[in-house]
Structure 1
Amino acid sequence: MIEINNLTYQYQVDAAKVLDNVSLSFKSGDWVSIIGHNGSGKSTLVKIMMGILEDYEGEILINGNKLTKENIANYREKFAIVFQNPDNQFVGATVEDDVAFGLENQGVAREEMVEKTEAALTAVNMLSYRRHAPARLSGGQKQRVAIAGALAMAPDVLILDEATSMLDPEGRKDILNILEDIHRERQTTLIYITHDLSEIEKSDYAVIMKDGEVLNRGSIEHIFSDTDTLIKSRLVLPYQMQISRALLKGEYVTHGELVEKL
């Protein structure tokens, strides 16, 4: 669905490259996690895909068609993004007003708008909060509303850029469970940006980035079995991986499998 070839980007001509000859591909319906420490280039990558940043070297193909300044507006409608701080995305006085905002801008008929807004809020378990002001919600609830606003637009690709980094562990688990349901039921392509390895286990595919380069890519089993690269990337290994590395020769295991082996 998305093919990135030799993508290179720097914010200033004489500055270091934020992305250095990056090539990746994303299949339709996959959940892809892009993992890296701060400054690895992962957020810059998705901003280029969204058309937020321009003047890059290389090319991006969407369904075989090259992304250009002339056609970016058409393809941008196929993408939706949820950022780290949901407060920066709220524009409506109530939850349902906020979720309906994008649909209203597209001129969607009111009856259809109400239907899509309710469906999106139901998907994130926030329909009962439809009349609430976003500012009065908890951090996890705000992020759910931000995701609902993106879902209402029925995007082909949903990008989450460090969307759980401001939440407590329970809030992160809640959001990840919601994303799993969305991915399974809607077959939406998910691109999940994070620096937390414990959040990628539900992914189909993962990419490790460091200093603007791709260090590794592949299935979750492949990524977790190469602990040397993870450590080189300055990523903190999940607790079960630390135990496995110490006692089981670094073999990749889930929480349940680790309990059984111990």
Structure 2
Amino acid sequence: MIKIDNLTYRYQADGPTALDEISLSFNKGDWVSVIGHNGSGKSTLVKILMGILEGYTGNITVDGEALTQDNIQDFRERFAIVFQNPDNQFVGATVEDDVAFGLENQGLPREVMIERTEKALSAVNMLAYRRHAPARLSGGQKQRVAIAGALAMEPDVLILDEATSMLDPEGRNDILAILDEIHKTRTTTLIYITHDLSEIEKSDYAVIMKDGRVINEGSIEHIFSDTDILIESRLVLPYQMQISRAFLDGRYVTHDELVARL
């Protein structure tokens, strides 16, 4: 669905490359995790896909059509993004007002707005909070509302940029469970940006970035088959992988598989 060829970007003309000849493909309906330490280039990649940054070299195509400054606005309507801090995205006085905000900007009929808002809030288990003020919600609940606002737009691509980094473990697990359900029940392409390897197990595909370059990509099993690359990229191995590496054969195992083997 999305094809990136030799994408290069510098924040300053004579500065270092933030992205250095990146080439990637994202298939429709896949959950792709892009992993890297701070400064690896993953958020720069997202900003270019969303049309926030200009002046890159290389090519980006969506469904075979080249992305340009002339058509970027059309493509933006097919993309939705959830950021690290949901407070920065809230504009409505109530949860349902906030979720409906983007739909109102599109000029959709009221009945369509109501239907989409309820459907999106149900998908993230927040329908009971529709009348609440977003500021009074917990961090995990706020992030659910932010995801609902994105889902209500019915995007082809949903991007989550470090969307769980400010949450406690319970809130993070809730968000990952919601994304897993979205992945199973919709054809939305998920692009999940993170520095936490423990969050990528449900992904179809993963990309490891370092210093603006892709240094490894493939299935989750493939990514974890070379732990040296992960450690070199200053990424912390998931707990079960640390145990496997220290006491077993070092191969990739899920939590349940680790328990069974132990």
Q: CA deviation at 1:186?
A: 1.2
Are 1:148 and 2:144 counterparts?
no
Tell me the distance in 1 between the aligned counterparts of 2:250 and 2:237.
11
User: What is the aligned partner in structure 1 of residue 62 from structure 2?
Assistant: 62
Q: Tell me, what secondary structure is at the counterpart of 2:17? A: coil
Tell me the distance in 1 between the aligned counterparts of 2:73 and 2:176.
30
User: What is the aligned partner in structure 2 of residue 179 from structure 1?
Assistant: 179
Tell me the distance in 1 between the aligned counterparts of 2:19 and 2:76.
21
TM superposition score normalised by structure 1: 0.99
Paired amino acid for 1:79: F
Q: Tell me, what secondary structure is at the counterpart of 1:18? A: strand
Which of structure 1's runs of 4+ aligned residues deviate more than 3 A? Answer: none
Gaps of at least 5 residues in structure 2 are none
Tell me the distance in 1 between the aligned counterparts of 2:132 and 2:261.
47
Alignment RMSD (CA, Å): 0.5
User: What is the aligned partner in structure 2 of residue 101 from structure 1?
Assistant: 101
Q: Tell me, what secondary structure is at the counterpart of 2:165? A: coil
Tell me the distance in 1 between the aligned counterparts of 2:246 and 2:187.
38
Are 1:240 and 2:244 counterparts?
no
Tell me the distance in 2 between the aligned counterparts of 1:26 and 1:140.
28
Q: Tell me, what secondary structure is at the counterpart of 2:4? A: strand
Tell me the distance in 2 between the aligned counterparts of 1:166 and 1:241.
24
Tell me the distance in 2 between the aligned counterparts of 1:241 and 1:14.
41
Paired amino acid for 2:120: A
Aligned length: 262
Are 1:130 and 2:106 counterparts?
no
User: What is the aligned partner in structure 2 of residue 164 from structure 1?
Assistant: 164
User: What is the aligned partner in structure 1 of residue 23 from structure 2?
Assistant: 23
User: What is the aligned partner in structure 1 of residue 72 from structure 2?
Assistant: 72
Q: CA deviation at 1:183?
A: 1.1
Tell me the distance in 2 between the aligned counterparts of 1:162 and 1:136.
22
Tell me the distance in 1 between the aligned counterparts of 2:181 and 2:255.
21
Paired amino acid for 1:219: S
Relative to structure 2, which stretch is displaced further, 181-190 or 93-102? 181-190
User: What is the aligned partner in structure 1 of residue 4 from structure 2?
Assistant: 4
Tell me the distance in 2 between the aligned counterparts of 1:35 and 1:71.
29
Tell me the distance in 2 between the aligned counterparts of 1:156 and 1:198.
26
Paired amino acid for 1:54: E
User: What is the aligned partner in structure 2 of residue 87 from structure 1?
Assistant: 87
Tell me the distance in 1 between the aligned counterparts of 2:193 and 2:123.
21
Aligned-residue identity in percent: 79
User: What is the aligned partner in structure 1 of residue 32 from structure 2?
Assistant: 32
Tell me the distance in 2 between the aligned counterparts of 1:255 and 1:115.
39
Tell me the distance in 2 between the aligned counterparts of 1:90 and 1:171.
19
Tell me the distance in 2 between the aligned counterparts of 1:176 and 1:252.
20
